[in-house]
Amino acid sequence: MDSMHLNPKFVLDSKDLALYREAHPLPAKFLIPAKTLSKPMLVLDFDETLLHVEYKAPPNFDFQTECDKRAMFVQVRPHLKTFLAKVKPHYEVAVFTAAQPNYADPMLDRVDTERCIQYRFYRQHCHVFREVYVKDLETLGTPLERTLIVDNHPGSFMVHRNNGIPIKSYMGDSGDTALLELWGFLDEIKSETDMIPKAVQYANGWREKLSRQKKKAEASATQSYESSTSSGPQ
């Protein structure tokens, strides 16, 4: 899934952006009530960013819930509570998910007991473009130079790519440290009046590292295949 961050499909040019905005004009009323923000806005994805859901019980999970009478087994990303507690004093925090409220809210209520997340946005707040749910940051009404979105899917922020902070998809790994690493970056830039240059630098570095890892894995797979075929029956 993370290899999608390297897919040029999610890099829009000016013509693509114009087509998007023509199809999805800005609303007359923004999602966040107009006010002068004293803190920057941090928008967090939900599934595979903050937690992972299985529909059959895995060996380890944090809690069980249900949606539409279907059991769900929830694995919370390690260090989530610590992460939320650290960002709360410095950022306005929102969750923006392509899920429905009846799916997301019970889990959010469980993982955010301290109410660090001030805003929740759902599928009805997304726009569909190129068969992807887009989370349009301009619909929030917050200054773009002080608004960041963290998401494991590059399509979610392809309209505002420079505001996007990619993160590795969380699939239940108990040793995951991505949120601690993310906080290190957010702490570094929390006082910036324009966060975009450093956000772009961070995201580009993240994608370059992903590209190197992908090439290394492909080379290793090729080498293993060649070794197996060369040592096969003569």
Show the domains of the chain with their CATH numbers.
Answer: 2-28+41-50+78-219 (3.40.50.1000)
Contact 32, 143 (CB under 8 A): no
What are the pLDDT digits (tens) for 107-135?
999 999 999 999 999 999 999 999 999 99
The catalytic residues are 45, 47
Contact 179, 229 (CB under 8 A): no
What are the pLDDT digits (tens) for 73-92?
999 999 999 999 999 999 99
Contact 95, 117 (CB under 8 A): yes
71, β-bridge pairs: 66
How far apart CA 172 and CA 181 sit, in angstroms, is 17
Q: In the prediction, which pLDDT does 47 show?
A: 97
Residues 6 or more apart in contact with residue 39 via CB below 8 angstroms: 90, 91, 92
Q: How far is CA 176 from CA 75, 167, 170, in A?
A: 12, 11, 8
Average of pLDDT values for 95-104? 97
Rounded mean pLDDT of the chain?
A: 94
Q: What are phi and psi of 23, to 5 degrees?
A: -75, -30
In this predicted model, which residue has the larger pLDDT, 81 or 222? 81
Given a cut of 60, whether residue 234 has pLDDT beyond it is no
65, β-bridge pairs: 72
